[in-house]
Amino acid sequence: MEYRRLVEIYDRLDATSSTLEKTDILANAFGDAGELLPELTQLARGRLFAAWESDDLGVSSSLTAQAIVDATGIDDEQIQSWWRETGDLGNAAANAVENRAQTTLVSETLDVRTVYDTLRGLSEYEGPGSQERRINDIADLLADAEPDEARYIVRTIVGAMRLGVGEGTIRDALAMAFFDGSDEAIQAVERAYEVTNDFRTVGETAREQGRDGLDALEVELFRPVKAMLAQKAEDVADALDATEQPLVEYKYDGMRTKIHVSSDEIRVFTRQLEDVTTQFPDIVAAVRDEITVESAIIEAEVVSYDSETGKPIPFQEFSKRIKRKNDIEKMATEYPATVHVFDLLYHDGQSLVDAPLAERVKHLEGIIEHGGETVQRAANLQSASAEGAESFYADALEAGQEGLIVKNANASYQPGSRVGYMLKVKPMMEPLDLVVVQAKWSEGRKSDWLGRLRLACWDAEQEELREVGRMFSGMTDAELREITAKLEPLIQSIDDRTANLRPEVVIQVEYEEIQESTTYDSGYALRFPRFGGFRDDLGPENADRLERVERLYEEQ
Ligand code: AMP
């Protein structure tokens, strides 16, 4: 298939804002794709890799800009200026090709497979000279490209397709292309995607083997699925109430891992599906020694403990190990891993994702060496009374853990969805009083209201406000109306839909956690900030100090 035809499809997707129409366009494209279907299911979203593959092309936007210069002979300043004007390097590339100084003598027609393979290949270069080779490969593609083709090639490279095509659109389009598009067909495609994490496999199986093939797709070793996510409960009682058959476990604050085990290979993946096997030789060794199994996919939270206090080391510190490429053994001695196992998705050749949690846990407990040093079953209570669970919660906090996770022992494993099979209970952090320094007009029904607030604390040393994050929601309509009325008179300038404000309004902000951040000039960012009320009694200089943010960060 010529790349030009894919560009036509992109343009049609771009021309409509209706999800139904987008689905229709893609369903037709998928139906006609033949052998090229796997690539198309990826390229439709501007993806080159499945969620579980490493997707680092090793190409920055400025490197891409360099390739545009090389391919077209247009100077860098002009490219930068187009880029700034439109905010889209893809448009800059299209302009550059349109106005190109050099013309290649024999220009090849680009086909989809060449573009896909060339772009994927960029990630494979290693060592000295790899940057140049990447620039050359991109420049070669762009030299053969028409303006519209260049636009989408560059958008694919920088990962900004702007076509409004998400996972749901691909799923629905496959259900329509190869089945009847009914809810039932959509669910079958969804399930297949959950267990494979790969639309290429789902598409190809649907096309070649129909429903039976699709339904037979299962979790496989070394192809990690997304993690099942937790919802938040107010407190222990609330979590128990909401859970049919509670299995209560400590909530550890560590690295969520999926460990894939076969007789000759062990691999460790993070929650983001990144392969971190090399960085954690201690986990691999412990799994080899303390788990007896032919094959398995084990889920665990990995924590490192301070050998003196016995308390968990903060995740921020432990997580240094994830990024480290050298001194691996030294890091493993400094931050040794304890692997708290809590789920088993696959056991000796069989998927367990459809089995109830109670059964998965029974299998899990059957394969670990009890009393093992590094691999330990997550602390748990199997049939908890209300008081039992409360005191278990107190124990967890006393031990320096984050709280509890309350799971439904009757539930299957649902990769990636927050279905309420698992509720987390943890103490709220002390709220902060923060100044609103910027606001954005909301979208849709609430477009007249100023929501989306940028918040700041007070740096007493420098006598300046320092930003600590943005709050998107948590306000009722009445509160949004009230804050709009308070903020409008304070507007100093407007930038697109953003209003810069005289810093006067102070609000109370609740949040789950403070993280280090390079986005905000305080160096910190609140995780999941929520509106906790107006503090009309406070002026900006009475807002919480940066020092307090720092202290809370250290203490959490
Ligand atoms: P959160 O990241 O706050 O949404 O909480 C969910 C996370 O808690 C999961 O992604 C796991 O990484 C982590 N977690 C800690 N202990 C457990 C446990 N016993 N069972 C399941 N997840 C756990």
Q: What percent of the chain has pLDDT over 70?
A: 98
- Is there a single domain that holds both residue 393 and residue 452? no
pLDDT tens, position by position, 477-509: 888 889 999 999 898 888 888 899 999 999 999
Residue 295: CATH number of its domain:
3.30.470.30
> Do 456 and 515 belong together in one domain?
yes
Residues 327 and 343 in one domain: yes
- Alpha carbons 177 and 183: distance in angstroms, whole number: 14
For residue 73, what is the domain's CATH number? 1.10.3260.10
Rounded average pLDDT over 138-160: 94
256 lines ligand 1 (CB under 6 A): yes
389 and 532 belong to one structural domain: no
> Is 179 contained in some domain?
no
> What are the structure tokens assigned to 173, written together?
């389009």
In a domain, 40, yes or no: no
Nearest Cα to 196, choosing from 353, 355, 356? 353
Give residue 465's Cα distance to chain centre.
Answer: 30
399 vs 396: CA distance, rounded Å: 5
Q: Which domain holds residue 136?
A: 46-158
Ligand 1 centre and the CA of 531: distance in Å?
A: 24
Question: 6 alpha carbon to ligand 1 midpoint, in Å?
Answer: 41
Q: What number is the average pLDDT over the span 469-481? A: 84
- Tell whether 385 is covered by a domain: yes
Q: Does residue 406 or residue 233 have the better pLDDT?
A: 406
Name the domain count of the chain: 3
Q: Which amino acid is at 196?
A: T
Q: Which of 229, 251, 231 is nearest to 379 (CA)?
A: 251
Question: Both 451 and 326 in a single domain?
Answer: no
Give the model's pLDDT for residue 475.
Answer: 81
pLDDT at residue 316 above 90? no
pLDDT digit string, tens, across residues 435-457? 999 999 877 777 788 988 999 99
- Cα 315 to ligand 1 centre (Å): 13
78 within 8 A of 67, measured Cβ to Cβ: no
10 Å Cβ neighbour count for 84?
Answer: 9
Whether 216 is in a domain gets the answer no
101 vs 312: CA distance, rounded Å: 61
- Whole-number Å distance between alpha carbons of 416 and 231: 12
Distance CA 539, CA 273 (A): 45
Residues 488 and 420 in one domain: no
pLDDT of residue 495: 83
Catalytic residue among 251, 258, 407, 426: 251
Same domain for 456 and 517, yes or no, is yes
Does residue 260 form part of some domain? yes
Q: Are residues 387 and 483 in the same domain?
A: no
* Pick from 200-214, 277-291, 292-306, 456-470: least confident: 456-470
The answer to whether position 374 is within a domain reads: yes
244 and 351 belong to one structural domain: yes
pLDDT of residue 103: 63
Of 394, 425, 456, the one marking the end of a domain is 425
The residue-averaged pLDDT of 49-70 equals 88
Query: Whole-angstrom Cα distance, residue 14 to residue 138?
Result: 24
Q: Which residues pair with 545 in a beta bridge?
A: 458
Q: Is 325 a catalytic residue?
A: no
Instruction: Please give the single-letter amino acid code of residue 53.
Output: E
Strand ranges in 179-226 using DSSP code E only, listed in sequence order: none
**52 and 71 share one domain:** yes
pLDDT bucket at 417, cuts 50 / 70 / 90:
low
CA distances to 33, 58, 179, 215, 351 from 210, in Å: 16, 37, 8, 9, 21
Please indicate, yes or no, whether residues 378 and 324 belong to a single structural domain of this protein: yes
The tens digit of pLDDT for each residue in 141-151 reads 999 999 999 99
| Domain shared by 454 and 311, yes or no | no
d(CA 84, CA 77): 10
For residue 288, the model assigns a pLDDT of 95
